[in-house]
């Protein structure tokens, strides 16, 4: 990849994440070519000053094959739908095997699928958030700052939650639990089988959860309250 001449960035999706990505790339001097499947978003991209924006059904391989992708172009997949993003990466890897593919993920599960589909790089927003919090908490001064912020802002807080006996979380691997669906971010845990040391999410997600383990999450107070109520269930709510 590094030997290829650097070309333009072909951004797929001008939605929740795509807008910011495209804007940042353009502000950084990158040539941006936008691909959008939704007519309203395509019109919005044109209005926002992206003349090289095309309306294409990203589920149609024949349509994708007609895109002006050249050697050295970066393919940036930022569709709002995780499943569509994975499908798109699979198609692009088959159609453009020598181009670098970057993808954005906002869940642990999507990250794995995107890598398996052929993405060269996956920016995992979940892991990035956890890493930033890890770095903040490793600095005493910053820790006092964030504690002061959370005290002043009652919408968010950290919470230590002990997994109760009979919980659907007992025996589950961390990478099989989608904390995002409950509106909370998993920061780390104390695994009672491994001692009392705190394990940050950045060290890996292959740990097994057991009753008695302590997990630490951040989120809105009402989401944390609801999550605590739900984990006493024997079966995960659907």
Do 59 and 87 contact (CB within 8 A), yes or no? yes
- Closest of 8, 114, 10 to residue 67, by C-alpha: 10
Contacts of 49 (CB under 8 A, 6+ apart): 26
- Identify which has the larger pLDDT, 206 or 101: 101
Tell me how many domains the chain contains.
2
For residues 100 and 169, membership in a common domain is answered with: no
SS3 209: coil
- Regarding whether 137 and 59 lie in a shared domain, the answer is no
Say whether pLDDT at 16 is over 90: no
pTM of the model: 0.57
Taking the C-alpha atoms of residue 88 and residue 64, their distance in angstroms, rounded to an integer, is 9
Containing structural domain, residue 30: 9-119
Q: Among 102, 119, 136, where does a domain finish?
A: 119
Regarding whether 136 and 112 lie in a shared domain, the answer is no
The string of pLDDT tens digits covering residues 129-147 is 555 555 544 555 445 545 5
- Contact (CB, 8 A) for 217 and 185: yes
Do 74 and 123 meet the contact criterion of CB atoms below 8 Å apart?
no
Domain of 198, CATH number, reads 3.30.70.1450
Q: What is the CATH number of the domain that holds 20?
A: 3.40.50.720
């Amino acid at each position: 990849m590094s030997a290829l001449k650097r070309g333009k960035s072909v951004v797929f999706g001008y939605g929740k994440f795509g807008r910011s990505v495209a804007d940042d790339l353009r502000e950084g001097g990158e040539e941006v070519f936008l691909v959008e499947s939704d007519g309203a978003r395509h019109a919005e991209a044109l209005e926002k000053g992206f003349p090289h924006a095309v309306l294409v059904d990203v589920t149609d391989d024949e349509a994708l094959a007609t895109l002006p992708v050249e050697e050295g172009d970066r393919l940036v997949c930022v569709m709002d739908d995780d499943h569509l993003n994975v499908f798109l990466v699979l198609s692009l890897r088959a159609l453009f095997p020598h181009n670098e593919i970057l993808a954005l993920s906002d869940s642990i599960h999507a990250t794995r699928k995107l890598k398996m589909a052929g993405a060269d790089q996956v920016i995992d927003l979940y892991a990035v958030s956890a890493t930033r919090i890890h770095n903040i908490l490793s600095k005493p001064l910053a820790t006092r700052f964030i504690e002061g912020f959370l005290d002043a802002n009652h919408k968010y807080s950290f919470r230590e939650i002990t997994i109760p006996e009979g919980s659907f979380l007992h025996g589950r691997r961390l990478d099989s639990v989608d904390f995002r669906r409950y509106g909370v971010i998993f920061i780390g845990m104390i695994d009672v089988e491994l001692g009392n040391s705190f394990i940050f999410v950045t060290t890996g997600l292959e740990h097994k959860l057991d009753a008695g383990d302590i997990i630490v999450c951040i989120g809105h107070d009402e989401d944390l309250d609801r999550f605590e109520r739900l984990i006493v269930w024997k079966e995960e709510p659907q």
